[in-house]
Chains A and B, each alone.
Chain A
Amino acid sequence: MDTLAEAIRLVAAPDVLIAILLSSIYGLVIGSLPGLSATMATALLVPVTFYLSPIAAVATIISASAMAIFSGDIPGALLRIPGTPASAAYTDEAYAMTRKGQAELALGAGLWFSAIGGIVGTISLIVMAPALAEMALQFSTFEYFWLAFLGLMCATLVARSSPVKAIASMLIGLLIACIGIENPAGTPRFTFGITDLLGGVEVIPALVGMFAVSEVMRAMVTPDPPPMPRRKFGSILKGQWELTKKYVAPQVRGNIVGIIIGVLPGAGADMAAWVSYAMSKRFSKEPEKFGTGHPEGLVEAGASNNASLASGWVPSLLFGIPGDTITAIAIGVLYMKGLNPGPTLFTERASSMYALYIIFILANILMIPLGILMIRAASHILRAPRAAVMPVILLCCAVGPFATGNNLFAVMSVAFFGVLGFVLERNGYPVAALVLGIVMGSMVEQNFVTSLIKSDGSLLPFFDRPVAAVLAAMTIACLVWPIGVWAHRRFFRRQASVAPAG
C-alpha cells in the first residue's frame, strides 16, 4: 500500500499533472492533423522530455501517444484521411458513416471504445505483465513470420473489392518495402544510386501521400460533394452505450487481440487494428454491411488498437524490447531518465511503475472529455469550404513528413505516393493494402530469412512448432478463402443458369 500511496503522490505532483494535460492536448491536435502520426507526435516530444522530471517525461509520452492514436480517427472519419496507419484499416467505414450523417456516432465509437480498450489494456499490463512477457518470449522468428503473413492476408479480407486487386496492391507494397539496405542481407536493393533511398521508404510519407495527397487530388477533379445535411452535431456519447451492449463479443475479441498483438514486439497498434477489423468482418452476422457505414468493425478495431498501445509497454518495461515504434522512442526516454527497463523496475522502483499505471488510466479517462471537445472543434471542418480546407491539408502534407527526419526527400516521396494512391484508387486497387504491405514487408522477409538461417535451410520448424503450426493453418485458410469463395460462387452460378434450362 505504501508503494501505491507513494505512486499517487508522484503522479499528483503539479508538474506531472500539467504534463499530462498539456501533452494530451498536444497529442490530440497532432494526431488529428492529416500528415502527422502518433509516432511523430512522440518523436517531437523527445527534446521536451529532456527538461522534465522522470515521471512527467514518461507521462507526456503515454498521454500524447494514447491521444494521438485516437485522434488519428478524426480526419479519417471527417475527410477520409487516416491520421495513423492504425486508423487506415477502418477509415472508409468511418467516412461512410459520416456521409450517412452519423459522424458523431462514428467518432464517438472511436473515442469510447478507444478509452475502454486503453483501460483494459492497462489492466492487462498491471495484472499480467510478467505472464504476457513470458508469452512474448515464446515467439521466435518462425511465429513472427506467420504472424506478419497473416497481417498481410487481412488486407485481402478487409478490402471491399476484388481480392486479386487487393493482393496485387499488397504486393506493390511489399515491392516498395524491398527498397533500401534494411534487408537481411544488408545489400542495397532498388536504390538506383539514390542515397535517400538507402534507408528504404518510410511509412509516414507513404501514408500521407496515399491518403491525404490523393484526397486533395480527388478534390481537384470532383465537383463539391453535396453539402452535409445542415443540422446540429448530435451528442457524441449518445448511442455508445447501446453499441457497448450490442457488440459485447466484438469488443472482448478486440481487446484480447489488441493485448496479444501489442505484447508481441514489432507488431503494434497498426496490425492490431487490421487484424481486428478483419476478424470483425469474418465473424459478423452481417458482413455485407462492412464498408458501408457500419459501426461493428469500428468497435472492435478501435478497442483493439488502444489496447495494444498499453500492452505494447510490457516487453518495453520488462526487457527493454520495443513493442512498436512509439515504445521504441519511449525506451530511449526511460533510459535517459534513469528508469532503466528491466525486472528491477518492477521490484526496486515499484512506486514508479504504479505511477505509470495510474498515468495510463488517467490519460484514458481524460481522453473522453478532451476527445469530445476535439471532435466538436474538428466537426466544423465539415462545414468549412473545401477550397479552404484542402490547401491547409496540403501544407501539412509537406511539413509533417519533413518534420520526422528534417529531410526534404520525404516531401518528394509524399508527392510520388500521392500520384500512386490516386491512380490505384481510381482503378479499384485498395490503397490501404499497399500501406500494410509497406509496414509488414520487412517483417515478413526478415523473419523468413533469419528462420531459414537458424534452421539450416529446413522448412520444417515453420510447421512443427505448436504456435507456428496454428498460425500457419490460419494463414493458409485466409489464403485459400478467396479462391474457395470464387470457386463456390462460380459453381452455384453455373447450377443456377443450368437449372431453368433443364
Chain B
Amino acid sequence: MHLSDRFTGPFLIALGALAAYGGSRLPPVPGQQVGPNVFPMVVGAGLVLCGVLIALGVGRRFEEEAEADLAAHENPPPPEEARHGRWYGLRALIPPALLVFYYFAVDRIGFVATAAVMALVAAKVLGASWRLALPLAALAPIGVHFLFYKLLRVPLPAGLIPLPW
C-alpha cells in the first residue's frame, strides 16, 4: 500500500481541483460577501499547491531526517517486513470490510451474531488458534453487549440471539 510521492502528489492535485470545481458551482448566498464556494476553493487550491510540491519531492528531506531520528532513538529496530504474496497487502482491508458487514447485517441477524462473526474472522486472520478464536467470538460480543446495552442503554438490535438482559 506504499505509494510513491509521484502518485500521491498528482492525486492531491486532482482532489484539490475537484474540490475547487465543486465549490465554485455552489450558489452565492444573499447578504454574504464570502459565499459557501470560497472555502472549498481556497482549500482546493491549497491541496493543488501541496500536491505539486509533493510530486516535486519538496520536503522529502524532513521525512528522511525524522526517520533517521526515530531509528536512532528506537531501541529494537523495527522488524523487516516478511516476504509475502502479492495479495498479502489486501488483508488490511478485512477490518473495514467487517465494519461494512456490520452495517448491513446488524439489523437483520442482531448484534451478538454479527459481532461473533466479526471477532472470529478478525482473530483467525491475525493468526489465532481455534482454541483462542472460538471462545473470543463467543464471549467478546456478550461482554460488549452487556456494557453497551445494559449499562449504557444503547439500543443494539437483538436479532437471532436475544440475551437475557
Question: Touching in the complex, A and B, CB below 8 A?
Answer: yes
A residues sitting closer than 8 Å to B (CB atoms) are: 44, 47, 96, 99-101, 160-165, 167-168, 171-172, 174-175, 178, 183-187, 189-190, 213, 216-226, 288-289, 291-293, 385-388, 390-392, 394-399, 402-403, 406, 408, 411-412, 414-416, 418-419, 422-423, 426-429, 445, 448-449, 452-453, 457, 486, 489
Task: State the CA gap A165–B60 with chains docked (Å).
Answer: 9
Count of interface residues, chain B, beta-carbon cutoff 8 Å: 88
26 A-B pairs, CB-CB below 8 angstroms? A165-B59, A168-B47, A168-B54, A171-B16, A171-B47, A172-B47, A175-B15, A187-B27, A187-B35, A189-B22, A189-B23, A189-B36, A216-B95, A216-B122, A291-B69, A387-B126, A390-B122, A391-B140, A394-B99, A398-B115, A398-B118, A402-B154, A403-B154, A423-B3, A427-B8, A449-B39
Contact of B12 with A168 in the complex, beta carbons under 8 Å: yes
Contact of A190 with B152 in the complex, beta carbons under 8 Å: no
Shortest Cβ gap from B47 to chain A (Å): 5
B16-30 contacts to A, CB under 8 A, are 16, 19, 22-23, 26-27, 29
Task: State the CA gap A486–B60 with chains docked (Å).
Answer: 11
B74-91 contacts to A, CB under 8 A, are 74-76, 79, 81-82, 88-89, 91
Residue of A nearest to B36 (CB): A185
Task: State the CA gap A162–B98 with chains docked (Å).
Answer: 33
Among candidates B35, B95, B103, B136, residue contacting A388 with C-beta atoms closer than 8 Å: B136
Q: Which 7 A-B pairs have the closest CB atoms?
A: A162-B59, A292-B73, A387-B128, A185-B36, A387-B126, A168-B50, A415-B99
Task: State the CA gap A248–B40 with chains docked (Å).
Answer: 43
Q: Does B106 contact A (CB under 8 A)?
A: yes
Contact of A489 with B61 in the complex, beta carbons under 8 Å: yes
Among candidates A178, A225, A390, A452, residue contacting B43 with C-beta atoms closer than 8 Å: A178
Determine chain B's interface SS by DSSP, over half rule. Answer: helix
Shortest Cβ gap from B130 to chain A (Å): 11
B residues sitting closer than 8 Å to A (CB atoms) are: 1-3, 5, 8, 12, 15-16, 19, 22-23, 26-27, 29, 31-36, 38-40, 43-44, 46-47, 50-51, 53-54, 58-63, 66, 69-70, 72-76, 79, 81-82, 88-89, 91-100, 102-103, 106-107, 111, 115, 118-120, 122-123, 125-128, 132-133, 136-137, 140-141, 144, 148, 152-156
Contact of B98 with A394 in the complex, beta carbons under 8 Å: yes
Shortest Cβ gap from B39 to chain A (Å): 5
Q: Which chain B residues border A175 with CB–CB below 8 Å?
A: 15, 19, 40, 43-44, 47
Shortest Cβ gap from A136 to chain B (Å): 26
Determine chain A's interface SS by DSSP, over half rule. Answer: helix
Among candidates B8, B59, B118, residue contacting A394 with C-beta atoms closer than 8 Å: B118
Q: Which chain A residues border B59 with CB–CB below 8 Å?
A: 162-165, 486
Apart from A184-B32, A412-B99, A415-B96, what are 10 other A-B pairs with CB-CB below 8 Å?
A163-B62, A175-B40, A178-B39, A213-B95, A220-B126, A387-B127, A392-B144, A411-B102, A423-B3, A453-B33
Contact of A178 with B47 in the complex, beta carbons under 8 Å: no
Contact of A391 with B126 in the complex, beta carbons under 8 Å: yes
Q: Which chain B residues border A187 with CB–CB below 8 Å?
A: 26-27, 29, 35-36
Contact of B43 with A171 in the complex, beta carbons under 8 Å: yes
Task: State the CA gap A428–B67 with chains docked (Å).
Answer: 10
Q: Which chain A residues border B47 with CB–CB below 8 Å?
A: 168, 171-172, 175
Residue of A nearest to B38 (CB): A449
Shortest Cβ gap from A484 to chain B (Å): 13
Contact of A412 with B100 in the complex, beta carbons under 8 Å: yes
Task: State the CA gap A445–B36 with chains docked (Å).
Answer: 9
Task: State the CA gap A177–B81 with chains docked (Å).
Answer: 36
Task: State the CA gap A426–B46 with chains docked (Å).
Answer: 22
Identify the interface centre among B62, B98, B111: most chain A CB within 10 Å of its CB: B62
Q: Which chain B residues border A399 with CB–CB below 8 Å?
A: 111, 144, 148, 154, 156
Task: State the CA gap A225–B150 with chains docked (Å).
Answer: 36
Contact of A220 with B79 in the complex, beta carbons under 8 Å: no
Task: State the CA gap A223–B91 with chains docked (Å).
Answer: 12
Task: State the CA gap A408–B114 with chains docked (Å).
Answer: 14
Among candidates B26, B32, B76, B123, residue contacting A449 with C-beta atoms closer than 8 Å: B32
A445 and B39 in contact, given A222-B81, A411-B102, A489-B61 (Cβ under 8 angstroms)? yes
A406 and B95 in contact, given A190-B40, A222-B81, A427-B8 (Cβ under 8 angstroms)? no
Task: State the CA gap A406–B107 with chains docked (Å).
Answer: 12
Shortest Cβ gap from B89 to chain A (Å): 6
Among candidates B38, B95, B118, B132, residue contacting A387 with C-beta atoms closer than 8 Å: B132
Task: State the CA gap A207–B128 with chains docked (Å).
Answer: 27
Shortest Cβ gap from A202 to chain B (Å): 16
Q: Which chain A residues border B43 with CB–CB below 8 Å?
A: 171, 174-175, 178
Q: Which chain B residues border A419 with CB–CB below 8 Å?
A: 93, 96
Contact of B73 with A418 in the complex, beta carbons under 8 Å: no
A226 and B102 in contact, given A217-B92, A427-B8 (Cβ under 8 angstroms)? no
